[in-house]
Amino acid sequence: MSHFVKPALAYALPVFALAFCLGALRVTLVEPRIGPLAAVALEVPVVLALSWLVAGAVLRRWPQDWPRRLAMGALAFLVLMALELATALSFGQSAAGFLAAMATPAGLLGLAGQVGFGLIPALRPQPSG
């Protein structure tokens, strides 16, 4: 089990940091101009592309068979969601508000992106060398 914990953290933490920065730009600069759904629609592909690159680097460092890549992605998804909740709470949002925001169109699109993030290690071919 521990064989995929370190890679999961090495995958989740930099992607969260990058997405946090992009999210700050989205909320402050993009969303007021085009609305929340369009802003998230612009952000999700960028985060998924970055996730693909980070997953490749992590899998080069810690090669995993398919079941461990799936477990790595699942754990990384859980870590990401915990970090997202912690961030929401730190900005004064309640846990109920966090969950309610996920039920909006923008929230559902963001959640779909987060699920995609979790699946990338299993979908991505094992990089060579």
pLDDT tens-digit map of 65-91: 999 999 999 999 999 999 999 999 999
The pLDDT of residue 89:
97
Is 129 contained in some domain? no
CA distances to 38, 81, 123 from 102, rounded to whole Å, are 15, 11, 25
Residues 6+ apart with CB under 8 A from 88: 95, 97, 98, 101
Residue numbers of the domain that contains 69? 2-123
Instruction: Note the pLDDT of residue 129.
Output: 61
- Band the pLDDT of 128: cuts 50, 70, 90: confident
- Whether 76 contacts 117, CB under 8 Å: yes
Asked if residue 44 belongs to a domain, the reply is yes
Residue 128: inside a domain, yes or no?
Answer: no
Residue 90 in domain: yes
Q: Residue for token digits 């996730």?
A: 51
pLDDT tens track for 22-57: 999 999 999 999 999 999 999 999 999 999 999 999
Contact assessment for residue 58 and residue 126, using Cβ atoms and an 8 Å cutoff: no
Residue 55 forms part of a structural domain: yes
At 127 the pLDDT is 78
> Which of 70, 60, 51 minimizes the C-alpha distance to 127?
60
Cβ atoms of 37 and 5 closer than 8 Å: no
pTM: 0.93
Q: Is residue 101 part of a domain?
A: yes
Q: Does 1 have pLDDT greater than 60?
A: no
pLDDT value of residue 8 = 98
| Residues 26, 96, 81, 41, CA torsion sign | negative
Burial 25-57 (b: 16+ CB within 10 A, else e): ebeeebbeeeebbebbbebbeebbebbbebbbe
- The model's confidence at residue 123, banded by pLDDT at 50, 70 and 90, is very high
Q: Domains in the chain: how many in total?
A: 1
Q: Please work out, in degrees rounded to the nearest 5, the angle formed at the alpha carbon of residue 96 by the alpha carbons of 23 and 79.
A: 50
